[in-house]
């Protein structure tokens, strides 16, 4: 092999190993979210498998190119099938609980890919013709790390954004197959194996039900049958129903959207007001609602076009800003009469930086002095879990006492609509006891 071929193979290893990690993190979002407690262990398992691969590669004593060629072929098949969205969905659908499915995916797909590709640099440095071992290792690590850098940038900012996640999976698999051909040669058997691998890649990554895939989410539109709805269509984000609209006149929407519209339009009498919506979903809050001006903020620049083309079948009403919700409310100079927080990245997964007290204080900054904040939360129906109690307490630490409506009482999981008004910082509450009961005095002062 020529030096150029060796360094090209090492470059492909770096590109595809980090590409597999990026794709694994992206495919996990619909199922376990993207919080630090998910990403950090995933990166840790990946690095552990990579380290074990380095150790295994260092023990290879002969047939260096043949071993690496075999590893590339196996890693290509694993990436093509195991990292495909359909495969990941199947794992989480058939393996419960979600933690066990996560371990199956990481240990059965991501770690083997990392282990196989980790053997590349230690093995192929034996074939490099530099005089000093340090020089060999330096050049090999340079090309591997350069590939990793370009993978992280190109897959997330270019391929996933413009072509979709399935295209990124196919690219990683195709590069691994190309590396296999460089190592094994353009002979009949290697060409036949690569052809079979490419067919498997295309079959495994067919996402016919998906209307769009980006670095942030997978989108689909599906019919749903509900007693109260007529020919309803659901807009799904990361396999979870985000919005719903039917063919009634006027159209009907999900229950929490109907409740929020009732609060704004009927109870508060909003007309000619400015409403900020954090988390666009299917843009149904402003659908067929001409009274007020809506501004939607969502992290994914593609969501509006997808919702308009496949879900609403008409232009969405309101302005759209592609930005992170927390950054927007922290930096905007605009002040809104209402802020609606609906920031789920999957069914029960709110990005971790959007549940903290600092975020809720920032949301107050974007409100008029007498403005209202409405939040859609998905919590247990009895509000008894630590997550439910702590999240509600966090919101009220910023806003003071808020109205809390459980929309599906008795169910294990329910939409919960929280309504808070802007105002001064809340003061600590006191308790009425038989010994010191100020209830009558407080009631008179309240009048």
Residues 140, 96, single domain; the answer is yes
Q: Which of 145, 399, 372, 423 minimizes the C-alpha distance to 265?
A: 372
Domain total in the chain: 2
CA 219, 373, 286, 409 torsion-angle sign: positive
Higher pLDDT, 170 or 437: 170
Residue 369 counted as domain residue? yes
Residue 442 counted as domain residue? no
pLDDT in tens, 62-77: 999 999 999 999 999 9
Residues 271, 338, single domain; the answer is yes
Residue 434 counted as domain residue? no
| In the predicted structure, residue 40 carries a pLDDT above the cut 90 | yes
Query: Tokens at residue 244, please?
Result: 């719903």
| In the predicted structure, residue 182 carries a pLDDT above the cut 70 | yes
Res. 131 pLDDT band, cuts 50 70 90: low
Residue 435 counted as domain residue? no
Residue 436 counted as domain residue? no
2, 19, 162 from 168: Cα distances, Å: 29, 8, 10
- CATH number for the domain that contains residue 131: 1.20.1250
Residues 275, 416, single domain; the answer is yes
Per the structure, the complete domain to which residue 159 belongs is given by 3-208
Res. 437 pLDDT band, cuts 50 70 90: confident
- Tell me which of 208, 239, 266 is where a domain ends: 208
Res. 346 pLDDT band, cuts 50 70 90: low
| In the predicted structure, residue 268 carries a pLDDT above the cut 90 | yes
Residues 146, 26, single domain; the answer is yes
Q: Which of 113, 110, 143 minimizes the C-alpha distance to 125?
A: 143
pLDDT confidence of residue 275 = 98
Residues 98, 139, single domain; the answer is yes
Which of helix, strand or coil describes residue 55? helix
CB 275 within 8 A of CB 338: yes
Residues 234, 362, single domain; the answer is yes
Higher pLDDT, 188 or 411: 188
Higher pLDDT, 124 or 442: 124
Residues 263, 197, single domain; the answer is no
Location of structure tokens 């009220």:
396
Residues 334, 244, single domain; the answer is yes
Higher pLDDT, 210 or 18: 18
């Amino acid at each position: 092999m020529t030096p150029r071929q060796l360094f090209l193979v090492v470059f492909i290893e770096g590109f595809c190993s980090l590409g597999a990690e990026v794709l694994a993190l992206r495919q996990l979002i619909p199922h376990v979210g993207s919080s630090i407690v998910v990403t950090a262990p995933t990166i840790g398992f990946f690095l552990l498998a990579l380290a074990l691969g380095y150790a295994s590669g260092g023990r290879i004593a002969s047939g260096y190119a043949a071993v690496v060629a075999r590893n590339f072929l196996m890693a290509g098949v694993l990436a093509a099938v195991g990292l495909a969205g359909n495969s990941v969905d199947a794992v989480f659908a058939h393996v419960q609980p979600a933690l066990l499915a996560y371990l199956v995916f990481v240990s059965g797909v991501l770690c083997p890919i990392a282990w196989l590709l980790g053997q590349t640099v230690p093995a192929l440095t034996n074939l490099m013709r530099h005089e000093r071992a340090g020089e060999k290792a330096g050049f090999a690590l340079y090309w591997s790390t350069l590939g990793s850098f370009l993978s992280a940038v190109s897959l997330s900012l270019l391929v996933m954004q413009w072509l979709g996640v399935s295209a990124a999976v196919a690219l990683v698999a195709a590069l691994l197959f190309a590396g296999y051909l460089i190592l094994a040669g353009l002979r009949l058997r290697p060409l036949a194996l690569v052809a079979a691998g490419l067919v498997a890649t295309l079959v495994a990554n067919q996402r016919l039900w998906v209307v769009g895939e980006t670095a942030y989410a997978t989108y689909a539109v599906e019919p749903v049958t509900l007693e109260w709805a007529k020919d309803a269509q659901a807009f799904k984000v990361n396999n979870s129903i985000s919005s719903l609209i039917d063919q009634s006149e006027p159209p009907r929407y999900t229950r929490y959207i109907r409740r929020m519209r009732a609060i704004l339009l009927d109870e508060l009498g909003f007309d000619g007001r400015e409403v900020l919506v954090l988390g666009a979903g299917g843009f149904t809050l402003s659908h067929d609602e001409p009274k007020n001006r809506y501004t939607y903020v969502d992290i994914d620049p593609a969501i509006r076009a997808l919702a308009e083309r496949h879900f609403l079948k008409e232009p969405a009403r309101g302005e759209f800003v592609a930005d992170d919700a927390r950054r927007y409310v922290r930096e905007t100079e605009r002040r809104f009469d209402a802020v609606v927080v609906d920031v789920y990245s999957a069914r029960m997964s709110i990005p971790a930086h959007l549940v903290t007290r600092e975020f809720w204080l920032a949301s107050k900054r974007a409100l008029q002095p007498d403005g209202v904040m409405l939040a859609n939360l998905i919590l247990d129906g009895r509000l008894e879990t630590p997550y439910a109690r702590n999240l509600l307490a966090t919101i009220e630490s910023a806003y003071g006492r808020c109205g809390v409506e459980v929309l599906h009482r008795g169910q294990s999981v329910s939409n919960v609509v929280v309504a808070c008004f802007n105002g001064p910082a809340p003061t600590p509450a006191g308790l009425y006891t038989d010994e010191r009961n100020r209830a009558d005095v407080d009631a008179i002062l309240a009048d």
